[in-house]
Amino acid sequence: MGQTKEFGLVRRWFRGLSLRVWLIIGFMMALLPVAVLSLFWYTDYRQQLHEPFQNVLHTQHKVLVSLERIQGSLWDIAAEVNDFAETGDEQYRDRFEEAERDIAIHLRDLELTVDEYPSFAPVLEGVQQQWSTLLDAASNVTKGSGPPNPTLMRFESVIAETGKRVESIAESMRILNEESHMKALETMERLDRFAAIAGVLALVFAGLGVFIIDQALISSTDKLVEGALLIAAGTRNRQIDVQVPPELASVANAFNTMLGQINQQENALAAAARADGLTGLNNRREFDRALDEQIALSHETSEPFALLMIDVDHFKRFNDTFGHLAGDDALRQVAETIAGSARENDRAYRFGGEEFAMILPGLRAYEAANIAERVCEAVAARTLILPDGQKQTLTVSIGLSVFNPKAAHPDVIELADRALYSAKQEGRNQVKITNSF
C-alpha cells in the first residue's frame, strides 16, 4: 500500500513537470550515455593506451639509440686495439680512450633511463658487465706482440661476445616493443567494443528521449490540434484528453470547459427554440418536426400511432370575461394538466392559441381513447386559480385519429381535426375518434 502511494506521488510529480523540463529530460536521456561512455573511453584511452604507449616508445627509442652508439663504438675500439697491438702506435691508444669516453656517455644515458623506468635495469646491468669484461681484456693487450697474441685473441673473443650481448639486449627490446604493441591492440579492441556499446546505447536512449518528447509534447499537441479541428467541424461530444505537460493539459481543460459551455448554450437555445414561451410545452415548429419523424418511423416499423388534437372549450368567452392575463394563466394550468396525464413516451405540444396536440406512439384507437378520456376528465376536474384568486374550471374537446402506415397518404392532422369538430358539435368536453382505416 505504501509503495503504491509513493508511486502515485512520483507519478503526480512527473506529471507536474513543465514542458521545458520534459524537453530537457528527453535530451539529457539521449545525450547522457554518449557523454558518460565518451568520458570513460577518453580516460581509458589516455591511461591505458596513449600515455603508456607513447612513453614506452620514447624510452625504447632512447635505449635503442644508446645501444646502437655503444655497438658502433665497440667496432671502433676493436679496430684501435688491433692496430695498437700490431704497430704499438700510441695514437691508437688515444683513439681507444676517446671511444671509451663515448661509451661511458651512452652508459650514463642508460642509467638516467633506468632511474625513470626501472624495468630497463637488466639492460643496463648486462651492458655494464660486458663493458667491464671488455675493458679488462683490452688493458691486457700489449703493443708489438707478434702472432699469435693470446691477449689480443682474448680481447677479440670478449668484444665478439659483447657484440652478441648487445644484439641480444636489442632483441629483448624488440620483444618488449611487440608486447607493448599487443597490449595497445587489446586496449584498442576493448575501446572498439565500448564504442559499439556506446553507439547502441546512444540509439536506445535517443529513442527513449524521442519517445518522452513525443508523449510529453508532440502527442499532446496532436490531440489538441485534432480536438480543435473537431470543434471547428461541429463535433461537440468529444473531450480532449491531455494530461502532460501541465501547460498543454491546461489548454486542453480550457478547450473542454469551453466545449461544455458551448454545449450548454446550444442545448439551451435548442430547448428555447422548441418550447412554447407561455406554457412551456413544445411549440408548433417542434410538433411539425416530431410528427414527420413519427410518420417516417411508423412507415419503417409498420406500427401505428395516435394523434390527439385538444381545444379548450369556450376559451374566447373566458378571455372576454376574466381578461387576457387570466386566460394566459389558465392556459398554463391546462397545459400542465395535459402534460401530467401523458405517458412517459407521449409528447404534448401547444398547437396554437388555445389548441394543444399530443402524439401517442404505438397505440391503437381504443388505447389512445383511454388516454384521451383521462386528459379530458383531468382538465375538467382541475380547479384553476386565477391571478386575482378566483377559482374557475375549463373543459376540453378532443379529436383523436390513428395513423395507419398502410393507408394511402393519410392526413392524420385533418382526421384529428374532423374528430375535434365533431366533439365540439356534439356538446364539447368529450372525445371523438376518426382513423385512417
376 vs 309: CA distance, rounded Å: 12
Query: Closest Cα to residue 194, out of 409, 374, 34?
Result: 34
The neighbouring-strand residues paired with 150 are none
What are the catalytic residues?
Answer: 354
411 vs 401: CA distance, rounded Å: 10
Longest dimension (CA), the chain: 178
C-alpha cell, 154? 682474448
Q: What does residue 77 show for φ and ψ, rounded to 5 degrees?
A: -65, -40
295 vs 183: CA distance, rounded Å: 96
Pair 415, 434: CB distance under 8 Å: yes
307 vs 296: CA distance, rounded Å: 15
Query: Closest Cα to residue 245, out of 11, 3, 15, 5?
Result: 15
Pair 274, 282: CB distance under 8 Å: yes
Give me the DSSP letters along 164-196.
HHHHHHHHHHHHHHHHHHHHHHHHHHHHHHHHH
Go through 132-156 and write b for each residue having 16 or more CB atoms within 10 A of its CB, e for each that does not: ebbeebbeebeeeeeeebebbebbb
277 vs 80: CA distance, rounded Å: 139
Pair 308, 338: CB distance under 8 Å: no
CA 418 to the chain's CA centroid: 70
The neighbouring-strand residues paired with 361 are 305
CA dihedral over 294, 295, 301, 303, signed as positive or negative: positive
CA distances 421 to 79, 358, 433, Å, are: 156, 17, 11
359 vs 342: CA distance, rounded Å: 10
How, if at all, do strands 355-361 and 347-352 pair? antiparallel
